[in-house]
């Protein structure tokens, strides 16, 4: 699974928002006008995607541990996995994580409606990558989306 092709370079960013809801909305809104090959026909229905993501958060928070959150959803608007990432160096305190920590790294995973395997593999891959403290620190000090993308996508080659 090649993260470099799955992560959308232009939609990795340093987040402005510092609450869970606003941070998720900021990431979803960045997909406005998205026109990548992952789409399943027409443009993304941003409103629907937002609803699905928040419905999922209602079931169980996607905040994991050690500052990582992975809002994820299976969505009929895409046919292949799409990942975007946001960094909040100041921390999001209300994310409700498994270990109670604040969230600095939000990686959003959107997969096709029937892509159960890809869904789980991406979750597992991202979680295991971000267990690496060096990568985490590098991400937290990244100043641009481009840098965040390079760190996440390049970590595979770098053996991180």
Stretch touching another protein by CB under 8 A, among 28-36, 39-47, 67-75, 132-140: 67-75
Among 29, 124, 137, 144, binds another protein (CB under 8 A): 124
Stretch that binds another protein, among 24-32, 39-47, 87-95, 116-124 (CB under 8 A): 116-124
C-alpha–C-alpha distance, residues 5 and 93, integer Å: 31
Q: Is 112 in the site for another protein (CB under 8 A)?
A: no
Out of 56, 80, 102, 156, which residue is the one contacting another protein (CB under 8 A)? 56
Select 9 or 121, whichever has its Cβ closest to another protein: 121
120 touches another protein by CB under 8 A: yes
The reply to whether 74 sits near another protein by the rule CB under 8 A is yes
């Amino acid at each position: 699974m090649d993260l470099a092709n799955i992560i959308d370079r232009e939609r990795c960013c340093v987040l402005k928002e510092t609450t869970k809801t606003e941070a998720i909305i900021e990431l979803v809104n960045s997909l406005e006008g998205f026109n990548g090959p992952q789409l399943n026909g027409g443009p993304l229905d941003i409103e629907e995607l937002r609803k699905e993501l928040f419905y999922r958060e209602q079931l169980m928070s996607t905040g994991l541990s050690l500052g990582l959150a992975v809002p994820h959803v299976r969505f009929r608007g895409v046919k292949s996995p799409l990942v975007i990432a946001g960094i909040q160096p100041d921390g999001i305190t209300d994310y409700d994580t498994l270990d109670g920590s604040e969230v600095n790294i939000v990686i959003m995973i959107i997969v096709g409606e029937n892509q159960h395997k890809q869904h789980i593999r991406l979750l597992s891959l991202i979680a295991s990558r971000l267990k690496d403290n060096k990568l985490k620190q590098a991400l937290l000090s990244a100043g641009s989306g481009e840098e965040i993308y390079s760190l996440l996508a390049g970590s595979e080659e770098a053996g991180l």
